[in-house]
Amino acid sequence: MKLSNSKRIFSGFADKALKKGTISDSEALLALNAKGADIVDLFAEAVRVREVVSGSKIKLCSIINIKSGRCSEDCTFCAQSARYSTDAPVHSLVDHSEMAEMASKMKEWKSRLGIVSSGKGVLKGDSAEFQKILQSIRHLVKKGPVHASLGLLSDETARLLKDAGVEMYHHNIETAPSFFKKICRTHTFADRVHTVKVAKEAGMEVCCGGILGLGETLKQRVEMARAIHNLNVDAIPLNFLNPIPGTPLGNRKPMLPLEALKIVAMFRLVNPKKEVKVCGGRETVLGDLQGMLFFAGASGMMVGGYLTTRGRSVEADHRMVSDCGLTAVK
């Protein structure tokens, strides 16, 4: 029995990504179509890039849902839209004490705090609710880095968040530009890109990614990775659809673990120098292959649960990171 000595199709991808700052769209598509032993070669290229860019450090982040549900928007995957009847919690802005309690866990969790609110966004800086959030942020930053995700922003609200001490603003483009209308009709892809730009102009770092498995094609997954590359953000959160009953995508089948891991590797090679982290859907979609996410090129993950669904214990996640010979960091 003789092994074919055909050239390994992903050979050189890591060098190209590091030297040129990305790989081409056709190479990215090749990555998503990898089969058999080629998948392992693909992961090897992606992990080489991860090791050069972030060594053995795995960045953790954790979120608190400070206001849940009742959102006017119609994002088809979202349990917090008022248009869909789901079991998601519905509550108005939580007290500062709840945010402070979550913040106090970040040291032990070796994680960074993200405060997340449902709703289209905050375009005016004078609302009582927004002023309360700014007040909380001013206190929370004394305990450690604070990230925020409050939807669409204006120049004014972005500047006020920066002045209050927000280190990183999270705002996803969610999917490929050509697929966006299929998942949201109440605001536009351009609205989301605008928010990423005003957050950067205000001097905040930006965390921008999206959700895979919404019905987009493989080509649209590459288009999404390219769109994020062109926005030159700092961190890229990858979520895998965890279908929520009651939402329009509630009956969709979650993707298979290897399909998700190939997406991680593709995003790593298209965006070599960024923090590529796996967030929502990690446990549901990756199942027993969770630890592989670091060997597919991811350099971060969300721990401690998600907006409307639970995650597994932070202890188990810390153990997974150390079992992979890696180190969890803030």
Residues that bind ligand SF4 (CB under 6 A): 71, 73, 75, 78, 80-81, 118, 120, 151
Query: CB of 74: closest distance to ligand SF4 in angstroms?
Result: 7
- List of residues 6+ apart from 150 with CB closer than 8 A: 115, 116, 117, 119, 121, 122, 130, 133, 157, 161
Query: CB of 201: closest distance to ligand SF4 in angstroms?
Result: 22
Q: Which is nearer to ligand SF4, 53 or 198 (CB)?
A: 198
Query: CB of 139: closest distance to ligand SF4 in angstroms?
Result: 25
Query: CB of 87: closest distance to ligand SF4 in angstroms?
Result: 15
Residue 61 near residue 300, CB atoms below 8 Å = yes
Q: Quick count: other Cβ atoms within 10 Å of Cβ 108?
A: 9
For residues 155 and 97, give the distance between their C-alpha atoms in angstroms, rounded to a whole number.
29
B/e letters for 243-270, b = 16+ CB within 10 Å, e = fewer, are: bbeebbbeebebbebebbbbbbbbbbbb
Distances, alpha carbon 195 to alpha carbons 28, 234, 267, in Å: 27, 15, 22
Q: Which is nearer to ligand SF4, 37 or 82 (CB)?
A: 82
Q: Which is nearer to ligand SF4, 78 or 212 (CB)?
A: 78
Q: Which is nearer to ligand SF4, 73 or 216 (CB)?
A: 73
Query: CB of 241: closest distance to ligand SF4 in angstroms?
Result: 13
Q: What are phi and psi of 116, to 5 degrees?
A: -125, 135
Query: CB of 82: closest distance to ligand SF4 in angstroms?
Result: 8
HSE (CB half, 13 Å, CA atoms) of 168?
Answer: 22
Query: CB of 76: closest distance to ligand SF4 in angstroms?
Result: 9
Q: Which is nearer to ligand SF4, 151 or 243 (CB)?
A: 151
Q: Which is nearer to ligand SF4, 69 or 145 (CB)?
A: 69
Q: Which is nearer to ligand SF4, 53 or 207 (CB)?
A: 207
Element (H, E) at 62: strand 57-67
Among residues 149, 144, 262, 161, which one has the least CA distance to residue 208? 149
